[in-house]
Amino acid sequence: MTYVYAFEEGNKDLKDLLGGKGANLAEMTNLGLPVPPGFTITTEACRAYLHDKRFPDGLADEIEARLIALEERIGRRLGDAADPLLVSVRSGAKFSMPGMMETVLNVGLNDESVEGLAAHGGARFAWDSYRRLIQMFGATVCEVPAGYFGDALDKAKHQKGTRNDLDLDADDLRALVGVYKKIFEEHTGRRFPQDPREQLNLAIRAVFDSWNADRAALYRRQERIPADLGTAVNVVAMVFGNLGPDSGTGVAFTRDPGTGAQGVYGDYLANAQGEDVVAGIRNTVPLQDLESIDKASYDQLLGIMATLEDHYRDLCDIEFTIERGKLWMLQTRVGKRTAAAAFTIAAQLVDEGVIDLDEAIRRVSGAQLGQLMFPRFDLSGTHRELTRAVGASPGAAVGTVVFDAARAIELAGQGESVILVRRETNPDDLGGMIAAQGILTSRGGKTSHAAVVARGMGKTCVCGADELEIERGAFTVRGTRVAEGDTISIDGTTGRVYLGEVPVEPSSVVRYFEGAPVSEDPLVRAVDRLMRHADSRRSLRVRSNADTGADAARARRFGAEGIGLCRTEHMFLGDRRELVEKLILAEGQPAREAALAALLPLQRADFVELFRAMDGLPVTVRLIDPPLHEFLPSLTDLAVRVAVAGERGEDVGREKELLTAVQRMHEQNPMLGLRGVRLGLVVPGLFAMQVRAIAEAAVEVARAGGSARPEIMVPLVGAVQELETVRAEAEKILTEVIGDSGVRVVIGTMIEVPRAALTAGQIAEAAEFFSFGTNDLTQMGWGFSRDDVEGAFFWRYLELGIFGISPFESLDRDGVGRLVRIASEEGRAARPGLKLGVCGEHGGDPDSVHFFHEVGLDYVSCSPFRVPIARLEAGRAAV
């Protein structure tokens, strides 16, 4: 087995084996670009090492052989006292992963070779390089707290009366090396290793070990990166950007990763090494300035950037170093970018003939589109950033700061917009989280309680703002004190927190979906282009969940091709509650019929509105689903009211009656109780009234020249007999109402009870369509109540990796997905052409949409705002 590859032997497609960095260094080498020579130790070697806690047989010999070859090629030996070869040791997994050991530069320097290096590059340069080695080696290989080195450096600068590290001369740096060595000894109990090969060895092991560091493991769980990939290690001959003013180091992007605009983007820092550019030790200059500093290198760099874009056919980001006027490439990869840049660049590359439209829609995602649809802060004016943390749930929220849930509820009740600030949240904070406009915590990441619950509620949340010091009634951040009652603005997409009110601007992409003309804005043009293509490719249709004419009209503007779920219970709220109460309290047939008769015209009018908004498109109406007591006052409230009124000797006749009804209908597990089709079978006339209202509305719309296409959907069916009973009654009414009006009404069922999925073959006999209610199917499939578990223990399940994402957010393919698959196959086997859709929240979730495409459903249905996301993902699933 080969454990070590020279850069000449690899290529960009070997990321599994060589890691991202190694594979791309190999690719650049083979493109003929100036990459310092080096080699990559494979992820396989790492896996073997982690398994046996020692280098696998042969690895040490291979490393030695590669090192000798490198020495021969360069003509210097590692750590040679007279003229040393130095190397960097760099980690590089398949996916770039913060939390792993990063890089040790200048490996090979010791008390002797530093003099050899000085003889060639000058004493200042040599001692600067040595102190960097001790610092990086100490911090990353031996876990000496980095602060100690930083403090010593600051002290040296302070003594010299400067803030600029360049003012430290050779003697200062030599003295600093002495201090660093002491720090090293104090913390490790040993001297700084002087043997170059031992340095190399320890650094390689440290990279391997860092794969299992807590921070890396946590990051993998959050990002759903498999835990067993291992990391590669790159050993690269050093080139020096800290040799003087004609040297330097920089980063560059082939396009603006913020907007996608073309041009030269990057930063350069003269007389500097490695991390200095991003560490902010001195001010960098814009990359354009390199043109006047070193024109030859600048031109060469631009040429290389063009080559790389051409080769990778995408935005690349680059690290480079200039050593005395000679340019070296140290890293490239397909660059990360914002959502806006992703769309703009994909469309640009199509225009440039680099990629086709199929490829373009593969390169953007529904999640990115979703980000573009949130309102954003308009940062063009002055604003003051307080801190940056984890953007856990997107959106832009502005409000007064409050520190406890009760206060949040109180102020929100007075119409104020509040931001709930907590160290972390727990289930007791739920009420306050609901009341708040946004949530800010100082602890916890994307899977903390606050983050999970906020995403579930679609509420803006920033978490893990560890610079915040929260005391009673105020927090302090970087010296600024923010007290209860002060206003802040939080951005759940970028994780930034601002002092005061930052103006919010609506999204240009939403305006476009709302029907605004395609403007000159490159982003809107890109979105338009890619959406059209996605629509032309997808086989899944996209409908919307909507209960009112207004919602339906909006959904239609967003591209919905019908309604997949109209919840009729929403039509029983408000001032209609009283009618429902009458229905529930009705004793005997006449009273009940009177109540139903009063509800009929109201429902009919609702349906007319809906059918008009969706003229010509199918509208799935679900018959009433929740338990009836949801329409009655709460048991405790009512009991208290009756008791108080009774004491005062007031007339409590009606209230008492209500109380008895509520008590009678009280259920331990209402979600598993008298609801859905069960209600329809128990309360005479209820479903019949709804069916009649639907049919009459459809006829009314048809008579007026419109086209209504109602689909009646029966909820919570678990057995075909339930559906047959409802169907028989409904068909009688339909025949009677529809007559010769030409209206066609179909009857189908939800598949949301596991038993329904497992007996789908039988149920299909009585259903013209299935709609998967994946919320309930998840709830009943897992046996946990959605309303209770997300705040109670999901954070723990996510932490433990029991699932990587809440199964209510993204469909659990293995379990709930299997039920969907079985029901689809058996349903269609029994009734060829059976129409299949989904109407749970998952209909708008990107991953789930791909699954529904694979299973071969006809449509997904989701909330109006998610319709564009589902359209895009359905297109992506099809290419």
Nearer to Mg ion, 509 or 838 (CB): 838
* Binding status of residue 776 toward Mg ion by CB under 5 A: yes
* Binding status of residue 752 toward Mg ion by CB under 5 A: yes
How many other CB atoms are found less than 10 A from the CB of residue 304?
22
* 866: partner contacted, choices Mg ion, ligand ADP, none (Cβ within 5-8 A by kind): none
Q: Is 775 annotated as a binding residue?
A: yes
- Cα 422 from Cα 451, distance rounded (Å): 12
Please report how close the Cβ of residue 103 comes to ligand ADP at its closest, in angstroms: 4
Task: State how far the alpha carbon of 758 is from the alpha carbons of 384, 763, 810, 817, 859, in Å.
Answer: 58, 10, 22, 12, 21
Q: Is 567 annotated as a binding residue?
A: yes
* 102: partner contacted, choices Mg ion, ligand ADP, none (Cβ within 5-8 A by kind): ligand ADP
From the list 46, 566, 839, 862, the catalytic residue is: 839
Q: Per-residue contact track with Mg ion, 320 to 339, x per CB under 5 A?
A: -----------x--------
775, 625, 613, 780: which is closest to 713 by C-alpha? 625
Task: Assess contact for 549 and 613: CB atoms under 8 A.
Answer: yes
Q: Is 11 annotated as a binding residue?
A: no
444 phi-psi bin (left φ>0, alpha ψ -120 to 50, beta other): left
DSSP assignment of 675-729, as one string? -THHHHHHSTTHHHHHHHHHHHHHHHHHHTT---EEEEEETT--SHHHHHHHHHH
- Cα 476 from Cα 484, distance rounded (Å): 12
Query: Is 839 a known active-site residue?
Result: yes
- Cα 592 from Cα 600, distance rounded (Å): 12
How many other CB atoms are found less than 10 A from the CB of residue 289?
13
* 105: partner contacted, choices ligand ADP, Mg ion, none (Cβ within 5-8 A by kind): ligand ADP
For the chain, report the end-to-end CA distance as a whole number of angstroms.
38
Question: Given the rule CB under 6 A, which of 25-33, 102-110, 191-199, 407-415 is the region that contacts ligand ADP?
Answer: 102-110
- Cα 706 from Cα 700, distance rounded (Å): 9
- What is the greatest pairwise CA distance in the chain? 108
Nearer to ligand ADP, 328 or 513 (CB): 328
* 773: partner contacted, choices Mg ion, ligand ADP, none (Cβ within 5-8 A by kind): Mg ion
Size of the site for Mg ion (CB under 5 A): 5
* 754: partner contacted, choices ligand ADP, Mg ion, none (Cβ within 5-8 A by kind): none
Q: Which of 9, 16, 71, 102 binds ligand ADP (CB under 6 A)?
A: 102
* Binding status of residue 331 toward ligand ADP by CB under 6 A: yes
Binders of ligand ADP among 527-586, rule CB under 6 A? Answer: none
Nearer to ligand ADP, 210 or 545 (CB): 210
- Cα 458 from Cα 447, distance rounded (Å): 15
Q: Is 866 annotated as a binding residue?
A: no
Question: Given the rule CB under 5 A, which of 208-216, 316-324, 387-395, 662-670 is the region that contacts Mg ion?
Answer: 316-324
Task: State how far the alpha carbon of 149 is from the alpha carbons of 143, 676, 762, 794, in Å.
Answer: 12, 67, 73, 41
Query: Is 463 a known active-site residue?
Result: no
Q: Which of 239, 346, 421, 699 binds ligand ADP (CB under 6 A)?
A: 239
Task: State how far the alpha carbon of 473 is from the alpha carbons of 415, 487, 622, in Å.
Answer: 21, 13, 48
Q: Which of 238, 408, 433, 712 binds ligand ADP (CB under 6 A)?
A: 238
Question: Given the rule CB under 6 A, which of 52-60, 234-242, 552-560, 840-848 is the region that contacts ligand ADP?
Answer: 234-242
* 103: partner contacted, choices Mg ion, ligand ADP, none (Cβ within 5-8 A by kind): ligand ADP
Task: Assess contact for 860 and 837: CB atoms under 8 A.
Answer: yes
Q: Which of 27, 309, 317, 319 binds ligand ADP (CB under 6 A)?
A: 319
298, 269, 41: which is closest to 166 by C-alpha? 269
- Cα 374 from Cα 762, distance rounded (Å): 44
* 535: partner contacted, choices ligand ADP, Mg ion, none (Cβ within 5-8 A by kind): none
* Binding status of residue 90 toward ligand ADP by CB under 6 A: yes
- The residue number with the shortest CB distance to ligand ADP is 274
635, 626, 574: which is closest to 602 by C-alpha? 574
* Binding status of residue 36 toward ligand ADP by CB under 6 A: yes
Q: Which of 10, 432, 773, 846 binds Mg ion (CB under 5 A)?
A: 773
Count of residues for the chain? 879
From the list 449, 533, 629, 842, the catalytic residue is: 449
Q: Is 704 exposed, middle or buried (0-12, 13-18, 19+ CB in 10 A)?
A: exposed
Q: Which amino acid is at 750?
A: M
Helix axes 522-537, 867-878, angle to 10 degrees: 60
Q: Which of 84, 108, 274, 562 binds ligand ADP (CB under 6 A)?
A: 274
Please report how close the Cβ of residue 266 comes to Mg ion at its closest, in angstroms: 13
Question: Given the rule CB under 6 A, which of 149-157, 237-245, 742-750, 829-837 is the region that contacts ligand ADP?
Answer: 237-245
Q: Which of 88, 113, 271, 387 binds ligand ADP (CB under 6 A)?
A: 88
Report the chain's C-alpha Rg in angstroms.
33
Q: Is 774 annotated as a binding residue?
A: yes
Give the active site residues.
449, 839
Residues making contact with Mg ion (CB under 5 A)? 319, 331, 752, 773, 776
Residue ranges of the annotated binding site for Mg(2+) are 752, 776
Residue ranges of the annotated binding site are 567, 622, 752, 773-776
Residues making contact with ligand ADP (CB under 6 A)? 36, 88, 90, 102-103, 105, 236-239, 274-275, 319, 321, 330-331
Residue ranges of the annotated binding site for substrate are 567, 622, 752, 773-776
